[in-house]
Structure 1
């Protein structure tokens, strides 16, 4: 939880790094709050639903993943959907092993209390919204858990670990170009350096980073069914890394390969330490 404490102390606090460095200034966090209030819905956080809501895909039962992309060369969607399917497969095996019957889901008081707390405590301002998924079947639980894992793993990796590679080079940050240039202004240089340093920290993988599907929990290893399911999940994640490498050499995919185009590697599951622009760690605490 240390990163959350540091963020509250220096990043998102009043007069902190975001309010002092981002174009909206003191209104930065207010804008974020308004966006959450007007746009955030748990049922739209699942990747397929998110793509459809943003007009980037339409439902198509005959297509792979049940979706047809409106922009076919969309790296986040193409890589994200195979990751979504891998996560869903692992979660489904796990859930169906422990909850083979819907009555077990309904009668699990601890599970039901957890989901109630997510809705009524975690999002108290939205607790009465009609779009919250019900938790009555293994399928319900699988979808809920897959959504949470996607948001805290794949989605977070996609929006976080590429920040320095793009925005660390200041001309790539047009949202900050709010004054005439160039001028010799030491205060502007300090601000630029501060933002670059923050983006470097946020985009950095620590040497002890734990990546999705990399290490098996000891209790899983003791259960042959769960152990086999996790090993399949780990194998699928390694395949995804290879698929992404292949896509980044396909000259027909102009949004991820070619002159001046950075290969899209943000959803490659594993990474070495440092600023690599790849790797999907567990980020549930954030």
Structure 2
């Protein structure tokens, strides 16, 4: 008799264990074992446990190829799903082979696991494995399909109901419970205060400080006290939630006729606008992309969207200061250029309308489109194109945890026609058009942070912590990806003949970037370097970039005067005609204000099951080399975290969003 030792691990998720009967069949090059029930004395397959079993065969099975797992009912109990993590099989020759699963298993479900070294398709050398891989990919393509949300947007997954998702990509029950509890508690507080459902104007700015009893952060309190200040306003273009809105300005656009006389008082004494342009101290935020998009109708009248221009100046104190604002693209008598020397409420209103456009650009283009929807494209393409034994599937799958569920849910509750963002100045249709325009202008290099920073001329702007931390994080991710990809692809020829890899990037190019060759996105790979760069961009996008545009929403948006997705009154068309009453009437009503604050509190809630960047709790790699690479990746992330924390001790406004301790490993909320 020949004995195989089995270590079977049940996950530690809620309700992961099972009472059902579990049967195992081993398949090798020399034959297969009997279908054998795993049954020890006492309770088997309890949550978070590992059971040890012995299987006997008449002869050695040769090289072990597959493990088949079956689940039969125990007595007459109802369906009892089992979260099966992994099985490690030790052969008679003493080789311990990992067969990862990490998914929920139902009765009657066919589960065949591949184990051992990660393999590309052309490396398969046994007919059984070649056939298994082919059947696996056919099944995946039939299950994960593409759907079109709107012409001109990235394609999405085809599931319309959360119940259709397989459990291994569905948000955990514990997280959903926590999510609902936070939402319920917030709603109760706002109802008790009589704020939810109130369509009254705010009577004073001070009243807005009373929205929540305890829900606040150090940063949200800072914003509440400093939102009117120009230096703080300018700093948000660098280190708040939309750090991609500005670029270096060496020459004023012809439609922004700022004169020397207008801005001279705000420049260094004795200097001029032309001199500061030459020195590289002038920057521009230009929201021309939303020009001409029809706004939402509110109370029978269209709201107002200002695709404005904001000129900024790095002063001798290294502070980025707004020095001129034009609220519409074309200069006109009713479209004056506002200045810091204008009446206080005029200047404040001008800044608020610029911020309103910036908020919509942030939420629609930078947050939803370029992180959530891009992550969904990468996830669906990965699930369709790669076998579970492929090294890139093992590397990438943890970076898509909950993404499909999160996006499908948010398309109804947040971004759908009745969702929270539909109440913005642009409304659902306007934001959709904004995303379509944004995708048409998105380039591959714009999603690669080092190239993005260079293209916008922001290499030397001071106090740009998003850039500093982001580039450090990019380099750490790149080093990790280079090690893993280089290990599995020792030559360019291996890249070219990997059919699953080529199909993967082709699907991303077709369904994510709609075949736009002008975007610079690859439709195929020829070299190892190309693969390394693309996967670096992908992992940075779903981890660091998402954190940068997501994690500060409560900090900067819960105080709605600092940045609102909707403003009710028209923008000022002349100077000297506004007051604080005008500002209060321009801000959202009480109900919408508190709904915005409640939404961003929920979006920035730190859930107890958060998985941080660099953390791979599911053991998918069998080989020691990638396991060591992960440890080195984690060590470098830890060093970066320590450096960021040390620097932040010296800052009045700490920048925390790209600290690895604050970054989730996937777009999971």
TM-score (norm 2): 0.36
C-alpha separation in 1, matches of 2:619 and 2:608: 22
Name 2:41's counterpart in structure 1: none
Equivalent position SS for 1:205: coil
C-alpha separation in 2, matches of 1:70 and 1:23: 35
Name 2:439's counterpart in structure 1: 36
Deviations 1:88-133 (A, max 9, x none): 011000001000111111111111110111111222252x336123
Which runs of 5 or more residues in structure 1 are unaligned? 57-68, 251-256, 271-278
Cα 1:234–1:207 shift into 2, 3 Å: same
Which stretch of the first structure deviates more once superposed, 42-51 or 83-92? 42-51
Task: Give the number of the structure whose residues are more often helix, by fraction.
Answer: 1
Matches within 5 A, 1:162-177: 162-173=552-563, 176-177=566-567
Give the RMSD, CA atoms, in angstroms: 2.2
The one of 370, 390, 413 equivalent to 1:10 is 413
Name 1:52's counterpart in structure 2: 454
- Determine if contact 2:439/2:513 at 8 Å carries over to the other structure: no
C-alpha separation in 2, matches of 1:119 and 1:189: 44
Name 2:659's counterpart in structure 1: 268
* Shift of residue 72, structure 1, vs aligned partner: 3.3
- Determine if contact 2:554/2:604 at 8 Å carries over to the other structure: yes
- Determine if contact 2:509/2:515 at 8 Å carries over to the other structure: no
Name 2:520's counterpart in structure 1: 131
* Shift of residue 176, structure 1, vs aligned partner: 4.2
Task: Give the number of the structure whose residues are more often strand, by fraction.
Answer: 2
Name 1:106's counterpart in structure 2: 496
C-alpha separation in 2, matches of 1:71 and 1:80: 14
- Determine if contact 1:47/1:84 at 8 Å carries over to the other structure: yes
Which runs of 5 or more residues in structure 2 are unaligned? 1-403, 570-581
Following TM superposition, the consecutive aligned residue runs of length 4 or more in structure 1 with deviations greater than 6 angstroms are none
Q: Which has the higher contact order (CA 8 A, sep 6+)?
A: 1
- Determine if contact 2:412/2:418 at 8 Å carries over to the other structure: no
Residue 218 in structure 1 maps to residue 608 in structure 2: no
Cα 1:190–1:153 shift into 2, 3 Å: same
* Shift of residue 19, structure 1, vs aligned partner: 2.1
Cα 1:267–1:95 shift into 2, 3 Å: same
Equivalent position SS for 2:584: coil
C-alpha separation in 2, matches of 1:162 and 1:155: 12
Cα 1:49–1:23 shift into 2, 3 Å: same
Name 1:240's counterpart in structure 2: 640
State the number of aligned residues: 252
Name 1:281's counterpart in structure 2: 664
TM-score (norm 1): 0.81
Name 1:156's counterpart in structure 2: 546
C-alpha separation in 2, matches of 1:71 and 1:178: 35
Deviations 1:15-38 (A, max 9, x none): 431121x2333523322321222x
- Determine if contact 1:209/1:281 at 8 Å carries over to the other structure: yes
C-alpha separation in 1, matches of 2:527 and 2:644: 34
Deviations 1:229-261 (A, max 9, x none): 1101000111111110121123xxxxxx12xx3
The one of 590, 598, 605 equivalent to 1:189 is 590
